[in-house]
Chains A and B, each alone.
Chain A
Amino acid sequence: QVQLQESGPGLVKPSETLSLTCTVSGGSIISTTYDWGWIRQPPGKGLEWIGSVYYSGRTYHNPSLKSRVTISVDTSKNQFSLRLTSVTAADTAVYYCAREPGGDWLDYWGQGTLVTVSS
Chain B
Amino acid sequence: QSALTQPASVSGSPGQSISISCTGTSSDVGSYNLVSWYQQYPGKVPKVMIYEVSKRPSGVSNRFSGSKSGNTASLTISGLQAEDEADYYCCSYAGSRTLVFGGGTKVTVL
Contact = CB atoms under 8 A, between A and B. Distances in A.
Interface of A: 35, 37, 39, 46-49, 51-52, 60-64, 96, 100-101, 103-107, 109-112
A46 B101 contact: yes
A65 B96 CA distance: 15
B36 A104 contact: yes
Given A46-B89, A47-B104, A104-B99, A62 B52 contact: no
Contact of A46 (B93, B98, B103): B103
Interface residues of B, number: 25
B97 A105 contact: no
Interface stretch (B9-17, B43-51, B78-86): B43-51
A105 B104 contact: no
Contacts of A101: 51
A60 B97 contact: yes
